[in-house]
Every structure is written in C-alpha cells, then in structure tokens.
C-alpha cells in the first residue's frame, strides 16, 4: 500500500484559517519586532490587564451584557474580555474556559453552565481538523465532513443568538435556554470524539464505535438519530469499497481500511504444485478489524470477490447487474445490505460455475479422473499391466519413469481411452514411500494414532518385504487454471492415494503366483486372505467410490483410523504369498524315476512331477507348517482387531457396516 500523502504545511502554519487560533494565539502587531513572543494562553485576553478590566466594577446589568458578548465568542472557541481559554496539558484539543472571579455570583453560575458547550465545540472542531488529513483514512474523512456540517448548523445557531443580542432581546438566562437543545447533541458527539481520539480509531474501528455509541443512546431518540446519521455518512466511503469488491472484485483501499488484504506475491501458477493452495487461501484474506455488522457475512464477501477475480484472471468480462434495490444504500437496521451481498454472491458463484463447466469442461475432467484414477475404465489398465508388469516388479529406484510413461501412452492409444479428449493429460510417476507413510506425511490426513505406533506400522520399516513398483506406481493428471482451483494439488493427491490402494489390491496380489498346497491350514488361510482383499475392493468400489466419487476426499476423512490396520493386513497377505513361493522351491525334490511312459512332452512331465513332489514334501515340512501357523495367528489377530474399529466408525460412515460384515464372514470361514 502506498503511503498517505503529507498534509500541506499551510494547513498547520495558518491557525486562523484552520480554526486553531484559540490554541496558538500570536501577536498580530508586526511593529513589536521580530523578537517578540506570543502571549501565553493562560493569560491572553482581548482586554489585557488593569483595574479597568475587572468586570465586577460594573453594575450587574452591564456585567450581563458584557458576559453575553464574551459567551457568544466562547461558543465558537474565541476568547473574550472576561472569559479566557486554558489549554489542558498532555491532551491535544482539550481546553478549559475560565471567567473573571469578580463577576456577580449568579451570573458566574449561569455562565459556567454554558462552558461545557464551548469546550465540546473546541474538541469536536479539533477532531474535524486533525482527522481531515490524508493519513486518517476515508472513513475518518467522511466522519469529519459530517461533523463539520453539524458544526456549521451549530455556528448558524450562534449567529442567530448574536442577532437577537444585537436587537437587545437576549439575556444570559435566555442564552442558556436556547443552548439546551444543542447541548445534548454536541455532548454525545464529544463523547464519541474522545473515544476516537484515545483509541486512535480508523476504518472499521470508527464504524464500530459509531454503532456502539448509537445503541447506547437508545433512550434519547434525537441524539440516537444524530449518531445514526453520522454512522451513515461515515460508512458511505466504506460502502464504496465494499461495492467495488462484491461487484467488481477490486480492492479500492488507499489507506488500508478495508477488511480484505491482497498478497500480490502469490501467483495462480503455484496451484499445481502447492499442496496447501496458498494462492486461493492467502492471495485474498480477511484482516483483523471486521465491522461488527459485517462479521457474519465476511466470509461470503471474501468469496464473492475471489470468484470475480478468478473470472478476471480468465479474461472473462463479467458485470454484476445493478439496480436500485441492489445498490448498497447503508448499513441500516433493515439489513438491505445483506440481501445485496447475497445476490452478488449468488451471481458471482453462478457465473464462475458456468464458465468452468462450459468453457473449461469441468465435468469432463472429473469424469476423466474417475475413469483413470478410480479405475472406472478397466481395459486401459489391463492392457497396461500386460505390457508393464516386468517394469513394475522392479524396485522403485530401478524403474524408468520415462519407459512407464511411454507404456501408459501406448495403452491409452490402444484402448477405448483414445476417444477421451482428456487422455493426453494423464501422466505417471513412481512414489518413493509406501501408501501408509505417504498418508502420515500429509498434514490434513494425519492418523489418530501416536507417531511411534504409526512408524511401527509402516510397511517399509516393520516388514522385511522390499517395496516394488506395484506398490509405488501412481497415475497423475495435468490440471490447468482455473480448474486447478477445484482439482487442486490437495484434491489430486487424495485421488492418487485412492488409486494406489485400488491398483495394489487389484494387480499387486495377482502378480504374486501363490502355489497351491495340500496343507489344509495354508489353503484355508489363502482363501481367507483373498476374501479379505476382495471384500476390501468391493467396499471401496461399490460402497464408497461409485456413489460418492465426486465427494471422495470428504468421505475418506471418516476412515482415517482404519488405514493402519488395513495396510498391515494387506502387507501380511503379501508377505505370506512371498514366503510360500520362497519355501516351496527350496525343498529338495528327488529326480523322477520314470518319465518315458507319459504322452506329454518331457519338459511338461518333469515340471508336473517336480511340482507334485514339492507339494507333498511341503506338507511334511516342519518349518513350513510353523510359518503357516504363525501367519494364520497374526492374520486372525489383525482381522479381529479391525472389526471393533469398523463398528465404532460405522455411525459416522454407514458403509463401513458392510465391510465389517464381509470381514466377519472371513472369520467365520476359518
């Protein structure tokens, strides 16, 4: 924000022009020389000193005429012959009026009753002059202008009283009577000004002060009406700022008074990489000091302007339809401004949605995300697995991402995905961590478990299996502005997490060739594991993804506490399958005695007989039997501990009940 322009020096050096002459009186006569000093405010008076100036030396009737003449001057902040002004030390703008003590006591009493009105005028006039400077802000400028208009009415009243005095129709008692109406109004403004000066208010703070003072005067309708008028005048400048924001998306705030701040250093291009979407949340944000009457709609106001700015960034000209009913007239009790804000929000949000749907094909992009990242199109992925299986079985650091990308492109062009206009936006990547570890690093998807247990459950650390491309392969998607606001880095990451789980369950287990075995427990455990994986896939695909795919990132939040157990169960299944493959071939098999009588080819006969003998010896192998029993016990333990968690979470997510029933079925089979 540019600094406020400086106030011209002549506005400070010519006190008689600015109304500060009662504070900085100087000797007017130049003949006294350059070294002359101004009189002290404590002693300065137009009558000077001497016995002839003592008002008590005159008759009471003459004293009354003299004091009325001085009072008329004091009412507009000018010293008289017998009434002087004394400045209060340490309080700028505060003065005290004093009278000659020799005056008649009755006249003194009546005169002192009028002094508060004189002092109030001086303080309010000081506020008008000081808050008219550029640095005070538009709201204070508007308030000062309204107060100046009020003081003009006040000075017109003083001029009328002076006219009556010149006609000989005004007494001190009459002067006191005519000042009554103005006294309460000016005193209320003085209280307002005192609080504004002490708190150095500006912008929304000044508007809040005006509203609170108006409410405090509920018992005096005239004064409350005056303060409400002041509020209306002061809020006019704020209304203009608000109008430009909700109707144009422009911050017109030269003095930093508006409650919305802009961070120009953030650019829209950062959305594709920034997980926290700082551009959307911090490019325009709410500041402290929101006006009290806008607190409940501040978020709506902020969002309305954001929508308009998005359309401007898209070079899309939008004009909010304006009418007399939609114009912000004021922050009155009829709450008309709330209706205007709501109408502006509805219009801006509707226009932006139409723009994204019609010009940028938002629905088509979301369908593409479902087709590829939620495995809605099976032929593409089946073909890809056929040509990429060898590459995906390697360790992540050995995989060529460029080769995988070329295989993805081949699979896209060779299947029905080629008809999708957005298929060229699909890319692939290889993650460097397991799915559970990836979840734990995302700040908005932190599990409810302690960090030590979470680390212990991480497959990379707790399991001896080496991670392969089947676990770390992931698809990604190119998203351009303004769709990056909807399909943000955060939303896309959640889609990728779902893809990794589905992909690993569907194709990771199938890639492991589990040899059949006559060992009964091994066969039962194998079926149980496969049923668990199928149940998990059925739940994710048909109970969660299909009916709620467009709201998936919200639905998954209710299942965070289950992530660790499901990941460990899935890892157990993989470890069991791998161990079986390692154990069975390690058993020594004697060479077959006779293979010549078979009609099958020699190689096939040999392979079949070797396999049969392997399985027979496996059923008698103590090491293998103990390993199977160990896997079975651990699998059943994890499975049973998952069921209570599903039951507790089913209240927030009813679909988890179905998954629990499927898992109970797995336990029954055993």
Residue with tokens 């990604």: 476
Q: Are residues 408 and 317 in the same domain?
A: no
Lowest mean pLDDT among 138-142, 374-378, 459-463: 459-463
Specify the pLDDT at position 587: 41
Residue 548 has pLDDT above 70, yes or no: no
- Average pLDDT on 299-323 reads 85
Do 143 and 11 belong to one domain? yes
Q: How far apart are alpha carbons 220 and 210 in whole angstroms?
A: 15
* Claim to verify: residue 181 and residue 247 sit in the same structural domain: no
Residue 604: pLDDT over 80: no
Q: Are residue 289 and residue 315 in the same domain, yes or no?
A: yes
- Residues 646 and 559 both lie in one domain: yes
368 band by pLDDT with thresholds 50, 70 and 90: confident
pLDDT given for residue 364 in this prediction: 85
Which residues lie across from 197 on neighbouring strands? none
Report cis status (omega within 30 of 0) of the bond before 463.
no
Q: What is the pLDDT of residue 276?
A: 72
Q: Are 224 and 218 in contact (CB under 8 A)?
A: yes
Residue 452 lies in a domain: no
654: tokens are: 């009813």
| Residue whose structure tokens are 């994710």 | 540
pTM: predicted TM-score of the whole model, two decimal places: 0.68
Number of folded domains that form the chain:
4
Looking at 153, 179, 200, the residue that finishes a domain is 200
pLDDT of residue 379 exceeding 50, the answer is: yes
Residue 84: is its pLDDT beyond 80? yes
The percent of the chain in helix, strand and coil, each rounded to the nearest 5, is 65, 5, 30
Q: Is residue 603 part of a domain?
A: no
Nearest one of 210, 146, 208, 220 to 183, comparing CA atoms: 220
314-328, 487-501, 649-663: the lowest-pLDDT one? 649-663
- Amino acid 174: pLDDT: 93
pLDDT digits (tens, 9 = 90+) for 206-221: 999 998 999 888 888 8
- Report whether pLDDT(331) > 50: yes
* Other Cβ atoms closer than 10 A to 350: 11
Same domain flag for 285 and 187: no
Q: Which residue has the tokens 């020096």?
A: 9
Which of 359, 380, 400 represents a domain boundary (last residue)? 359
- Name the domain boundary from 359, 384, 419: 359
Find the length of the chain.
Answer: 670
Instruction: Report, as an integer, the average pLDDT of 228-238.
Output: 91
Measured from the Cβ of residue 164, the count of other Cβ atoms closer than 10 Å reads: 15
Is it true that the peptide bond before 482 is cis, omega within 30 degrees of 0? yes
Whether pLDDT at 238 is above 70: yes
Bridge partner list, 87: 95
Per-residue confidence band for 280, with pLDDT thresholds at 50, 70 and 90: confident
Do 534 and 657 have their domain in common? yes
The answer, yes or no, to whether residue 186 has pLDDT greater than 50, is yes
For the residues 258-264, what does the mean pLDDT come to?
91
Q: What is the dihedral of CA 187, 189, 193, 195, to 10 degrees?
A: 80
Look at 66 and 23; give whichever has higher pLDDT: 66
- Name the range with the highest mean pLDDT among 123-137, 536-550, 584-598: 123-137
Read off φ and ψ for residue 360, nearest 5 degrees. -110, 5
Q: Which of 30, 56, 31, 27 is CA-nearest to residue 44? A: 27
Cα separation, 503 vs 471, in Å, equals 8
Question: 34-38, 399-403, 629-633, 651-655: which range is least confident on average?
Answer: 34-38
Residues 5 and 89 in one domain: yes
Residue 499 located in a structural domain = no
> In which band, very low, low, confident or very high, does the pLDDT at 462 lie, cut at 50, 70 and 90?
very low
In sequence order, the β-bridge partners of residue 86 are 96
The CATH code of the domain that includes 433 is 1.20.120.1900
Task: Write the DSSP symbol of residue 89.
Answer: T
Per the prediction, the chain carries an average pLDDT of 75
Q: Which H helix or E strand runs over 84?
A: strand 83-87
Q: Are residues 339 and 370 in the same domain?
A: no
What is the pLDDT at residue 299?
Answer: 93
pLDDT band at 268 (very low <50, low <70, confident <90, very high): confident
Element (H, E) at 397: none
Rounded CA separation 303/293 (Å): 18
The average pLDDT across 578-593 equals 47
As a whole-number percent, the residues of the chain with pLDDT over 70 amount to: 63
- With respect to residue 635, please indicate whether it lies within any of the assigned structural domains: yes
More confident residue, 377 or 397: 397
- Which band of pLDDT confidence, cut at 50, 70 and 90, is reported for residue 190? very high
Does residue 205 form part of some domain? Answer: no
Residues near 9 by beta carbon (within 8 Å), at least 6 away in sequence: none
**Phi/psi of residue 251, nearest 5 degrees:** -95, 105
Answer whether residue 3 shows pLDDT above 70: no
**At 39, is the pLDDT very low, low, confident or very high (cuts 50, 70, 90)?**
very low
Number of Cβ atoms within 10 Å of the Cβ of 464 = 7
**pLDDT (mean) for 475-500:** 86
Supply the pLDDT for residue 578. Answer: 57
Q: Which residue has the higher pLDDT, 135 or 171?
A: 171
Mean pLDDT of 307-315: 89
Q: What is the mean pLDDT of residues 47-67?
A: 75
- How much is the pLDDT for 68? 94
Half-sphere exposure (CA, 13 Å, Cβ side) for 203?
17
> Does the pLDDT of residue 611 top 70, yes or no?
no
Question: Are residues 428 and 321 part of one domain?
Answer: no
Report the DSSP beta bridge partners of residue 477: 426
Q: Tell me the two tokens of residue 86.
A: 């004394």
Q: Which residues pair with 475 in a beta bridge?
A: 428
303: in domain: yes
In this predicted structure, the answer to whether residue 173 has a pLDDT above a threshold of 80 is yes
- Judged against a pLDDT cut of 70, whether residue 426 lies above it is answered with yes
- pLDDT of 292 over the 50 cut: yes
pLDDT on residue 157: 95
Q: How far is CA 452 from CA 102, 447, 467, 567, in A?
A: 89, 12, 21, 16
Half-sphere exposure of 613 (CA within 13 A, CB side): 14
* Dihedral, 425, 429, 431, 436 alpha carbons, nearest 10: 40
Confidence of residue 11 (pLDDT cuts 50, 70, 90): low
3-state secondary structure of 96: strand
Query: Which of 423, 433, 428, 470 lies closest to 454, judged by CA?
Result: 433
Residue 35, pLDDT score: 45
Percent of the chain with pLDDT over 90: 24
pLDDT at residue 485 in the model:
85
Q: Tell me how far apart the alpha carbons of residues 639 and 326 are, in angstroms, rounded to a whole number.
A: 61
What does the pLDDT average to over 126-144? 90
**pLDDT score recorded for residue 524:** 56
Task: Give me the domain span that covers residue 337.
Answer: 235-359
What pLDDT is recorded for position 230? 93
- d(C-alpha 334, C-alpha 340), whole Å: 12
Task: For residues 338 and 373, state if they share a domain.
Answer: no
pLDDT given for residue 606 in this prediction: 53
Domain presence at residue 619: no
Gap between the Cα atoms of 665 and 670, Å rounded: 9
Q: Which of 283-297, 520-534, 600-614, 635-649 has the largest mean confidence?
A: 283-297
How far apart, in whole angstroms, are the C-alpha atoms of residue 307 and residue 313? Answer: 10
Selection from 7-16, 464-473, 637-646 with the highest mean pLDDT:
464-473
Same domain, 318 and 394: no
Q: What is the pLDDT of residue 288?
A: 87
What are the residue ranges of helices labelled H in 36-171? 60-74, 105-130, 138-166
Task: Look at residue 464 and tell me whether its pLDDT is greater than 90.
Answer: no
Nearest residue to 76 (alpha-carbon basis) of 186, 196, 198, 185: 186
Average confidence (pLDDT) over 95-123: 92
Highest mean pLDDT among 25-39, 330-344, 522-536, 546-560: 330-344
Give DSSP secondary structure letters for 518-561: S-HHHHHHHHHHHHHHHHHHHIIIIIIIHHHGGGHHHHGGGGGG
> Residue 379 falls within a domain, yes or no?
yes
Q: Of the given ranges (55-64, 145-154, 447-456), which has the lowest mean pLDDT?
A: 447-456
Q: Determine how β-strand 473-477 pairs with β-strand 426-430.
A: antiparallel
Q: Which tokens in the block code for residue 497?
A: 């997490």
């Amino acid at each position: 924000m540019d600094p406020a322009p400086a106030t011209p020096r002549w506005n400070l050096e010519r006190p008689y022009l600015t109304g500060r002459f009662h504070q900085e009186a100087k000797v007017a006569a130049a003949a006294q020389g350059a070294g002359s000093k101004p009189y002290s405010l404590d002693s300065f008076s137009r009558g000077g000193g001497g016995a002839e100036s003592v008002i008590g030396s005159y008759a009471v009737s003459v004293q009354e005429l003299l004091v009325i003449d001085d009072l008329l001057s004091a009412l507009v902040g000018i010293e008289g012959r017998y009434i002087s002004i004394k400045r209060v030390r340490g309080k700028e703008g505060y003065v005290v009026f004093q009278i000659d003590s020799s005056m008649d006591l009755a006249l003194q009493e009546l005169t002192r009753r009028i002094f508060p009105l004189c002092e109030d005028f001086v303080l309010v006039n000081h506020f008008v002059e000081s808050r008219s400077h550029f640095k005070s802000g538009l709201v204070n400028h508007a308030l000062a202008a309204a107060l100046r208009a009020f003081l003009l009415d006040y000075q017109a009243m003083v001029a009328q009283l002076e006219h009556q005095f010149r006609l000989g129709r005004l007494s001190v008692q009459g002067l006191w009577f005519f000042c009554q109406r103005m006294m309460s109004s000016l005193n209320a403004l003085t209280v307002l000004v005192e609080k504004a000066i002490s708190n150095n208010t500006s912008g929304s703070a000044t508007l809040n002060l005006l509203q609170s003072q108006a409410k405090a005067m509920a018992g005096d309708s005239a004064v409350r009406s005056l303060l409400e008028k002041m509020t209306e005048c002061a809020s006019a400048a704020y209304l203009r700022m608000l109008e430009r924001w909700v109707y144009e998306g422009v911050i017109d705030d030269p003095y930093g008074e508006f409650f919305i701040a802009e961070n120009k250093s953030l650019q829209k291009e950062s959305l594709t990489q920034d997980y926290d979407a700082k551009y959307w949340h911090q490019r325009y944000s709410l500041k402290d000091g929101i006006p009290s009457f806008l607190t409940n709609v501040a978020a709506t106001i902020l969002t309305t302007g954001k929508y308009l700015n998005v359309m401007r960034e898209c070079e899309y000209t939008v004009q909010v339809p304006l009418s007399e009913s939609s114009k912000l007239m004021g922050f009155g009790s009829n709450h008309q401004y709330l209706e205007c804000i709501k109408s502006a929000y509805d219009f801006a949000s509707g226009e932006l949605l139409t723009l994204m749907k019609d010009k940028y094909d938002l629905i088509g992009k979301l369908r593409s995300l479902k087709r590829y990242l939620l495995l809605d199109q099976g032929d593409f992925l089946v073909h890809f697995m056929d040509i990429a299986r060898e590459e995906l079985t390697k360790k992540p650091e050995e995989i060529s991402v460029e080769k995988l990308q070329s295989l993805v492109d081949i699979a896209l062009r060779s299947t029905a995905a080629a008809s999708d206009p957005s298929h060229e936006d699909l890319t692939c990547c290889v993650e460097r961590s397991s799915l559970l570890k990836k979840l734990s690093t995302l700040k908005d998807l932190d599990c409810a478990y302690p960090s030590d247990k979470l680390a212990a459950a991480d497959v990379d650390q707790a399991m001896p299996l080496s991670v392969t491309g089947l676990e770390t392969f992931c698809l990604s998607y190119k998203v351009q502005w303004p769709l990056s606001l909807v399909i943000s880095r955060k939303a896309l990451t959640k889609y990728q997490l779902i893809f990794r789980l589905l992909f690993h369950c569907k194709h990771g287990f199938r890639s492991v060739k589990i040899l059949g075995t006559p060992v009964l427990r091994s066969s039962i455990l194998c079926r149980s594991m496969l049923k668990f994986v199928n149940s998990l896939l059925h739940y994710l695909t048909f109970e969660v993804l299909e009916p709620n795919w467009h709201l998936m990132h919200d639905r998954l939040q209710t299942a965070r506490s289950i992530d660790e157990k499901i990941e460990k169960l899935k890892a157990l299944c993989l470890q069991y399958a791998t161990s079986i493959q390692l154990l069975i071939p390690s058993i020594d098999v004697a060479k077959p005695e006779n293979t010549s009588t078979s009609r099958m080819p020699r190689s096939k006969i040999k392979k079949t007989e070797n396999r049969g003998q392997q399985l027979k010896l496996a059923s008698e192998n103590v090491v293998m039997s103990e390993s199977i029993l160990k896997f079975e016990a651990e699998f059943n333990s994890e499975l049973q501990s998952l069921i209570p968690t599903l039951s507790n979470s089913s209240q927030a997510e009813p679909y988890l009940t179905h998954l629990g029933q499927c898992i109970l079925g797995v336990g029954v089979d055993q």
